Homo-oligomer: A and B are copies of this chain.
Amino acid sequence: MTQHHRAGPLFTDLYELTMTAGYFAHRVLDTATFSLYIRDAYSTRNFFVAAGLEQVLDELAGFRFSDEEIDYLKTTGRFSADFLFFLKQLRFSGDVYAMPEGTVFFANEPVLEVTAPIIEAQLLETFLLNTVGFQTMIASKAARCIHAAAGRPLIDFSLRRTQGQDAGLNVARSTFIAGFTATSNVLAGKTYGIPVSGTMAHSYVGAFDGEKDAFLAYSETFPEQCIFLIDTYDTLEGAKNAVAVANEMKKKGHTLIGVRLDSGDTVSLSQGVRRILDDAGFYDVKIFASSGFDEFKIAKVLSDGARIDAFGVGTKVGVSSDAPFVDVVYKMVHFKDREVRKLSPGKVTLAGEKQVFRNKKTNGYFVEDIIGVRDESILGSEPLLEKVMENGIVLRAHPSLEEIRKRFALNFSSLDEKYKSISDVVVYPVKLSHGLEKLQ
């Protein structure tokens, strides 16, 4: 299923085009390798979850300038007719090495490398940073929530406050990769086949004469899919109304799935609601909670004794609010036949085409990663970057979302708990190989 909205070659910073016009004019057409990685970010994230590769490969495979796009570039008055004619013919003809989506990785490790004629490799920079950076950021944030929820299902509720439309789609996909069970986002359901979830808002309750009427009406329309929102007026009264309607439903052979809290003190209200449900014999009716949840609030309410069975997780995950961007970069590391480093203060780049080798225990547990030279082989370790594109051709079918979810789940279960801390910086060991050190 490849239904990503194509970004197109104008989804780029102008300087990618002016630089490449310069290369073209001076016939700088040699092959370059660029490495995409996240710069040291341990103040907020101990690990990352690779995401975005499917969209990257679709875009690269279809990379070309339309007549309309060339016409626009002409209107800027900046580009020669020869360069525009060159762009018109351009396709992506390079190689891509990348970590598969769902791979757990760490700061400074290349997650994707592009080897191509310098103009092709350069023109992709903005798109690659945007796509891999954002989706990886969200998958990483979602994984932290999964850890905090300790097995309770999480549902993506973020669509209303994601930063735009395809952010909404990609948040649904990236959180699903990290183990969320569903999304409220109907378009993501259609586009990616992700299960969709949702019942009612406060306005629904308000549209009927009373809360009980609203619940009753809903149970008539969706007798097997009822989760009543019980905090429109008073949460505990709402729980009692839910019980009353659940009893009506029972008579007709239907079962209330759950109730949802969306305001107030989650801990005490959830305890009160649990008592009301249990006292009425509805032990299996679940309590859902939403409103402002992220890994921090989930961990807090659970440790304070909240009786919540599942969380709707919205805005704060959908924008990664505690760290709304990652310092993802795409740096030239090899050009013609020499290695390239950048030495600007605080922004050193490791030269050379690379591979990331992961050492594991026999039970699969991650021990350490070694960033090495691409051709190296390190005995007993697993190379994480796979060749996914050669000469512009994608070498394998996209893995399904289920396969990606499984990869993540296996990776995550192999990561020592200490690195999953949502509050402490715990640095996973990432070394450089002797070969890579010698290259610098």
Contacts and interface: CB of A to CB of B under 8 A. Distances in A.
Contact of A25 (B162, B221, B315): B221
A43 B201 CA distance: 27
Given A78-B225, A163-B324, A185 B129 contact: no
Contact of A130 (B160, B189, B203, B264): B160
Contact of A22 (B184, B204, B347): B204
Given A72-B189, A190-B10, A231 B344 contact: yes
A52 B324 CA distance: 21
**Mostly helix, strand, loop or mixed at chain A's interface?**
mixed
A13 B159 contact: yes
Interface in A182-236: 184-187, 189-190, 196-204, 206-208, 217-218, 220-222, 225, 231-233
Contacts of A231: 344
A359 interface: no
Contacts of A23: 204, 207
Contacts of A316: 325
A400 interface: no
Contact of A162 (B19, B122, B130, B321): B130
Contacts of A202: 331, 342, 344
Contacts of A49: none
Interface in A99-140: 118, 122, 125-126, 129-130, 133-134
Interface of A: 5, 7-8, 10-19, 21-23, 25-26, 28, 32, 34, 69, 72-73, 76, 78, 118, 122, 125-126, 129-130, 133-134, 157, 159-168, 170, 184-187, 189-190, 196-204, 206-208, 217-218, 220-222, 225, 231-233, 262-264, 315-316, 318-321, 324-326, 328, 331-332, 335, 340, 342-347
Top-3 shortest CB links A-B = A14-B198, A15-B198, A163-B163
